[in-house]
Each structure stands twice: as structure tokens, then as C-alpha cells.
Amino acid sequence: MNTNPTTIGQYLIERLLAHGVKHVFGVPGDYVLGFFQEMAQSELHLVNTCDEQGAGFAADAYARLNGLGVVCVTYCVGGLKIANTTAQAFAEKSPVIVISGAPGTDERIHDPLLHHKVRSFDTQLKVFEQLTVATAVLDNPLTACSEINRVLEAALHHCRPVYIELPRNMVHAPVFPMPVAIPVAETSDPNALAEALREATAMIAQAKRPVILAGEELHRFGLQSLLNDLVEETDIPVAATILGKSVFPESHRRYLGIYEGALSHPEICDYVESSDCLICLGSILTEIDLGIYTAHLNQDHCIYVSNERLAIRFHRYDHVQLRDFLEGLVNAHLSVCNTDTITQIKTPEFQIDYNQRITLGRLFGRLDTFIDQNTIVIAEPGDALFSGADLHIQQRNRFLSPAHYTSLGFAVPAALGAQLADPTLRPLVLVGDGAFQMTGMELSTIVRFGLNPIVVVLNNQGYATERPMEDGRFNDVLNWHYSRLSEVFGAGQGFTIRTEGQLETALYFASQHTGSFCILDVQLEPNDTSLSLKRLTQVLAERVHSTASM
Ligand SMILES: Cc1ncc(C[n+]2csc(CCOP(=O)(O)OP(=O)(O)O)c2C)c(N)n1
Ligand SMILES: [Mg+2]
């Protein structure tokens, strides 16, 4: 750790590198240009996107894979554009560092109306106070270093975004860093932990059919090997929430599938809901995880433990860490009676019918056999996610989707972030035509940085998810020639797909052509939607209409 005199800008860069950040996504502007130049001359790789929202989503995906991601923008015109992506990172626990340039402290005297200013100089700060777990304005060289370390630690501790504002005259301000204090890990109350483990192990031992429901926090807080140990030790079957999809290897002999209330496969739903001991680990149990509250989970049969709460049946335990509880379960060497042979929903054989018109179901049937060890599936909210939920993801952490916050526009920029975080992966991007039109231009950034995702556009001529709830021209989008985007960008390869044979040709080409992106314009009937989407929109339509009649 360097404690020699340095500058605020240099110190911030050094701390990002020390935390394993290699790439920074963003768009420069005059309030942040000085810091961009500092980053450009450092070991950090700058990835300037077409739009700030693209940078925000890329940083979110990068953070989910790398453990920390960074988006750097200019004041308000850039910063406020990533309010949405930061909100998503907060809602879904993704540790994104937002760095925004800002007017210099010397420029703020007498409160002038500088460009990009909204109401007052702290408007943007106030917005981000709502969207992050910690904020720092680096306006004082005496405290800047400790402020940087405080917010970075907060991002790691809570696995949520933080905000750093850097007034432009402070980038080169000299500082004398102090050695960084090693954060003290939060520990459990030993009595509460012991009591909770006593109750939980007794409940599991008595149960006839215990089941684990695994959620996203196991990934975010690095607890997946403990889950694996628990399953190897006990043979308890595992279902995952949709937000936690791929937290457990889906090829594992004890993996059941995705549980999301009535939206899940009926066999999985029955198995989970009829369990006499449901061990729910690291899930925040969102509305979507619970199948829009169609889930029937009996609290009397539940052990619920997340990073923030532990409840066993109707008893609540405070100050027990998820990690400690999980370690306790593994070390308890439980003897479990659930020796059920579970029925797994396997990838079905796929026989191509070359001249057959392509349908959504057949597309996903084929994609399920196309996924390999190096694929990371990135699914946009909409039918891409609902159909994507049933894909068999063999490796851990190879499925990304904002399944709770469900902001459209994530998938294409997320491919950029994911592939830079782990260049061994090839993203398979599943995106609706509506969502593609929001951020698809980041394919341009993907070309500039030499990446090669396969982008599958589900072209059903608009907002299929919304049509069953309320239809009108507002659900239509222009029918782009998606396959010709490769001409626009001067790279990549595009395919228009109407038949299974055309899909086959495109997938074969994509598997061979790894030099750039491939885009598949899959032309579907507007009403060709998945069963999950049909079930979901039926529930949502009832809600829309019951609110309308109130
Ligand atoms: C940023 C954002 N704007 C609006 C919505 C509301 N919304 C949810 S689904 C949907 C339609 C998505 O259309 P498309 O991407 O084509 O997918 P499809 O529904 O056709 O599968 C919309 C507009 C949203 N979730 N996110
Ligand atoms: Mg669509």
C-alpha cells in the first residue's frame, strides 16, 4: 500500500485497482475529463459507451461477475442518466461504484448557474443518497482518502452501489494517504447462532422431505461452495429462485429447477410447496421469486436465512450472519432422510425440422442444446427471461438477468460488462425487440472492444409482455432490419430467421465465427409467448383491471 504523497485522482485509481477493478465504463464530459485522462494513463482500461445507461448496465454485469464494477460519468447530464441502472444495482445487490465529476469547489462560490446544474449543486448527490448505501463528496484533501476507503468498504460489505463525487479541481489535489485499516468482519452473536442452529438442525433431522431454496446472495457473498458442501454432505435437493438462477450447478444430480410459485413447472412447484422443511438460503424473496405472490410456502415449515434476517418457523434470530449459519449447518453433519429420487427436467433431444416455421418454444429448445461450458446467458426481462428460466445452465453463475427490478435495456450492455469481466465467456444475449431498441446501440461499443456475443432478438413486433394486460398502438415498435446492423457497424454477421433450418445455419455460423458479434433476428408471431408469460400476464392483467375499476 502506497503511503507516499499522491493526488486524490491517483489515490482513487489505486484503490480501484487494489480491489481488482480493471475496467471502467462511462462517458466523459468537461467536469470529469481531467479524471478520465488520469485513468487513461493508468492501468485501468476505459470503456466509453454510446450512452451512460449502457455504461451503468455494463458496470452492473461486471460487478456481478468481478465482485466490483465502476461507472464514471459527468455531472447531472451523465449522472442522472444512470439513476436507473444504479437503482437496479441497489435493488438486486450489485456492488457498483458510481463516480461522477462535478463543478470545482472554487466554481461554486456565489452559487452561479453553471451548465448542467439543476436546482442546487447537491441535487445529484441527493438523488444518489436514495440509490446507494454510501456517498462521498471528495471536496477535502484531508479526508478524501478515508472517504474513498469508507465507501468502497460499504459497497463490498452490503454488496450494493455507492456514489463518489469528484469536483474537478480536486482531481490533482495532493493528499498523504494513511495505511488502510483492515475492516473488521461482522460476527454473529454466538448464543443466537448456537440456538438457531439447534432449532434448525432438529427441524431438518425430523423432516421427511427437506428441500433447499437457493437465492442470489449465496453468489453475491461468495457462499456457493458452502452450499455445495451442504448438498454433498446431506443430499438435500436444491431448487433455485429466478433471481438466483445458476447459483447452483443445474447439471447437479440433486438440482430440481427454478421455483417461482405458480410460474414454475408444476412438478417443481409441488415438490417445494409440499416440503415439510424448506431451507431458504440467501434469497430476498421478491414478488417475482414468489411467482407474483402465487407461492404457497408454509412458514411453519420454513427456515429462512438471508444476509439481513433469520427466521425459523415463527422464531426470529438477530445478529446471525448467513455465512456463519451456513457453516454451522455444514459442520453439524446432519443425517437427513430425504433419499427421494428426484425427477429432473432434462434438456430434451432436439430434432430439426428444417422447413418448419420457427416458434418461441422450438427456438429455446434448440438454444438449450447450443449452450456450452463457455456460454453465459444474459436474459432481458420479457419473454427472453421467462423462456430463458427453463434453459439448463451447466456452470455456476452463467445466467444474468435483472429478474427483480426488471429494467429493460440491460442485456446488450451487460454482454459488454460480462465479457470484459471474464474474457473466457461468450455471452448468449436473449433480448426482446422492444428492449433491444433501448440500448442495442451498445453493439457499437462491443465492436470497438473486439467482443463477440451472440445476440438473439425475439422479434415479436412489440411489447408482447404488455399486450395481454392492455393492448394498443403503444405496444408496437418499428420493425427494424436487425440483421443488417452488421452493415451499420461494419462488423459482425446478421441473420434473419423464419425457419428452423435458418436457425441451424445461423447457430452453426455463430459457433464458427468468433471474431465478432452475430445477431439473429428471430421472427415470431406476436402472440407466440411462453406458458410462464401467459400465466404471469393473466395475474397482472387482473391487477391492472382491478386497479382501473377502483
Ligand atoms: C426501462 C423499462 N421501461 C418499461 C418497462 C415496462 N415493460 C415491461 S415488459 C415491456 C415490453 C418488452 O418488450 P420486448 O422487449 O419486445 O419483450 P417482449 O415483451 O415482447 O417479450 C415493457 C415496455 C420496463 N420493464 N423497463
Ligand atoms: Mg417484443
Length of the chain measured in residues: 550
Given a contact cutoff of 8 angstroms between Cβ atoms, the answer to whether 224 and 396 are in contact is yes
Given a contact cutoff of 8 angstroms between Cβ atoms, the answer to whether 492 and 429 are in contact is no
User: What pLDDT does residue 547 have?
Assistant: 65
User: What pLDDT does residue 538 have?
Assistant: 76
Q: How far is CA 227 from CA 116, 215, 307, 340, 428, in A?
A: 48, 11, 15, 19, 27
Residue bearing cell 423462456: 387
Average confidence (pLDDT) over 435-457: 98
Q: Work out the end-to-end distance of the chain between its first and last CA atoms, rounded to an integer number of angstroms.
A: 62
The least confident of 36-50, 134-148, 266-280, 530-544 is 530-544
User: What pLDDT does residue 2 have?
Assistant: 62
User: What pLDDT does residue 546 have?
Assistant: 72
Given a contact cutoff of 8 angstroms between Cβ atoms, the answer to whether 374 and 425 are in contact is yes
Whether pTM exceeds 0.85: yes
Tell whether the model's pLDDT for residue 535 goes beyond 90.
no
Residue bearing cell 437427513: 336
For 277, phi and psi rounded to 5 degrees?
A: -160, 95
Bridge partners, residue 430, by sequence? 379, 456
Q: What is the mean pLDDT of the chain?
A: 94
User: What pLDDT does residue 548 have?
Assistant: 59
Given a contact cutoff of 8 angstroms between Cβ atoms, the answer to whether 418 and 376 are in contact is yes
Cα–Cα distance for residue pair 37/64, rounded to 1 Å: 27
Number of H helices, E strands in the chain: 19, 21
| Per-residue pLDDT tens over the stretch 481-514 | 999 999 999 999 999 999 999 999 999 999 999 9
Ligand 1 center to residue 465 CA distance, Å?
7
Q: Return the C-alpha cell found at 315.
A: 422464531
Average confidence (pLDDT) over 285-310: 93
User: What pLDDT does residue 265 have?
Assistant: 87
227's CB contacts (< 8 A; 6+ apart) are 212, 214, 218, 238, 247, 248, 281, 326
Q: Give the mutation target among 436, 463, 467, 476 for probing the ligand 1 site: most ligand atoms within 8 A of CB.
A: 463
- Nearest C-alpha to atom 25 of ligand 1 is from which residue? 407
Q: Return the C-alpha cell found at 230.
A: 451442504
User: What pLDDT does residue 140 have?
Assistant: 97
Q: Work out the pLDDT band at 549, boundaries 50, 70, 90.
A: low
Question: Is there an atom of ligand 1 within 6 Å of 466 CB?
Answer: yes
Query: Closest ligand 1 atom to the C-alpha of 436?
Result: 15
| Per-residue pLDDT tens over the stretch 81-91 | 999 999 999 99
User: What pLDDT does residue 367 have?
Assistant: 97
Average confidence (pLDDT) over 113-136: 97
| Per-residue pLDDT tens over the stretch 334-349 | 888 767 778 777 777 8
Tell whether the model's pLDDT for residue 186 goes beyond 90.
no
What is the bridge-based pairing of β-strands 45-48 and 493-497?
Answer: unpaired
User: What pLDDT does residue 531 have?
Assistant: 84
Given a contact cutoff of 8 angstroms between Cβ atoms, the answer to whether 100 and 75 are in contact is yes
Query: Which conformational region is residue 261 in: left (phi greater than 0), alpha (psi within -120 to 50 degrees), or beta?
Result: left
| Per-residue pLDDT tens over the stretch 347-388 | 778 899 999 999 999 999 999 999 999 999 999 999 999 999
Question: Is there an atom of ligand 1 within 6 Å of 388 CB?
Answer: no
Average confidence (pLDDT) over 451-466: 97
Bridge partners, residue 495, by sequence? 520
Average confidence (pLDDT) over 316-342: 90
Ligand 1 center to residue 337 CA distance, Å?
45
Tell whether the model's pLDDT for residue 184 goes beyond 70.
yes
Tell whether the model's pLDDT for residue 1 goes beyond 80.
no
What is the DSSP secondary-structure string of 96-124? EEEEEEE--GGG-TT----TT--SSTTHH
Ligand 2 center to residue 475 CA distance, Å?
9
Tell whether the model's pLDDT for residue 550 goes beyond 60.
no
User: What pLDDT does residue 296 have?
Assistant: 92
Question: Is there an atom of ligand 1 within 6 Å of 529 CB?
Answer: no
Tell whether the model's pLDDT for residue 443 goes beyond 90.
yes
Question: Is there an atom of ligand 1 within 6 Å of 409 CB?
Answer: yes
Ligand 1 center to residue 385 CA distance, Å?
11
Q: Starting from the CA of residue 411, give the closest ligand.
A: 1
Ligand 1 center to residue 432 CA distance, Å?
8
| Per-residue pLDDT tens over the stretch 213-247 | 999 999 999 999 999 999 999 999 999 999 999 99
- Which strand (E) or helix (H) includes residue 460? none
User: What pLDDT does residue 345 have?
Assistant: 75
For 203, phi and psi rounded to 5 degrees?
A: -65, -45
Tell whether the model's pLDDT for residue 517 goes beyond 60.
yes
Measured over the CA atoms of residue 187, residue 192, residue 198 and residue 203, the dihedral's sign is negative
Tally the C-alpha atoms within 13 A of residue 267's C-alpha that lie toward its C-beta.
7
Cα–Cα distance for residue pair 293/24, rounded to 1 Å: 38
Average confidence (pLDDT) over 198-205: 96
Q: Give the mutation target among 60, 81, 360, 465 for probing the ligand 1 site: most ligand atoms within 8 A of CB.
A: 465
Could you give the percent of the chain with pLDDT greater than 90? 87
User: What pLDDT does residue 277 have?
Assistant: 96
Could you give the percent of the chain with pLDDT greater than 70? 99
Cα–Cα distance for residue pair 379/105, rounded to 1 Å: 43
Question: Is there an atom of ligand 1 within 6 Å of 273 CB?
Answer: no
Q: Give the mutation target among 84, 386, 408 for probing the ligand 1 site: most ligand atoms within 8 A of CB.
A: 408
What value, to the nearest 5°, has the Cα angle with vertex 467 and ends 90 and 262? 65
Question: Is there an atom of ligand 1 within 6 Å of 406 CB?
Answer: yes
